[in-house]
Amino acid sequence: MQPETILESKSIRCTPIRQAILEILLKKGCPMSYKEVEAFLPEESDRVTIYRTLSLLFRKGIVHRVMDMKGTWRFCAHDPGISGCPGDHAHFECLICGRMDCLTNTCLPYIDVEDGAVVKGKHMVVYGVCSLCMK
């Protein structure tokens, strides 16, 4: 699905930067930090605008986000044409090249918490060395 279509469907004004950022996320298909996204944008792109755009996309449910093992948020868009990706899956992070991947075929386990506590979400990162970096 096209970035513009997605933005319009969420009643978000379709600006060049938003379109560009969403396009990058859709094309890459893996969780990216704002820094990684920035690398694919024109030189003059503003850090805060990228930050706000990613926050907006997240708030509107267009992307999901994962915190990596360095403590930075990574944002990821899966084509909404494909049956709903709730972000409820584990992620793999390579400690060498830094790449992160969605393990969309996994499903996070049920976790028992203390009585009375309410679970809002689950977050799982599996880290190690990816196949490319192992060679």
Partner DNA sequence: TCCCAGATGCAACAATGTTGCAGGAGTGAT
Partner DNA sequence: ATCACTCCTGCAACATTGTTGCATCTGGGA
2 binds DNA (CB under 7 A): no
For DNA, give the closer residue by CB, 19 or 106: 19
Q: What span, in angstroms and rounded, lies between the C-alpha atoms of 62 and 54?
A: 10
The binder of 102, among Zn ion, its own copies, Mn ion, none, by C-beta within 5 to 8 A per type, is Mn ion
15 binds DNA (CB under 7 A): yes
Out of 73, 80, 85, 104, the residue judged to bind its own copies by CB under 8 A: 73
For Zn ion, give the closer residue by CB, 39 or 97: 97
The binder of 126, among Mn ion, its own copies, DNA, none, by C-beta within 5 to 8 A per type, is its own copies
100 binds Mn ion (CB under 5 A): no
SS (H, E, C) 62-86: CCEEEECCCCCEEEECCCCCCCCCC
Which residue(s) pair with 80 in the sheet? none
111 binds DNA (CB under 7 A): no
Out of 102, 107, 110, 112, the residue judged to bind Mn ion by CB under 5 A: 102
DSSP string, 2-70: -HHHHHHHTT----HHHHHHHHHHHHH-S-B-HHHHHTTS-TT--HHHHHHHHHHHHHTTSSEEEE-TT
Among positions 73-92, residues that touch DNA (CB under 7 A) are: 73
Judged by the rule CB under 7 A, the positions of this chain that interact with DNA are 12-13, 15-18, 33-35, 44-49, 51-53, 55, 71-73
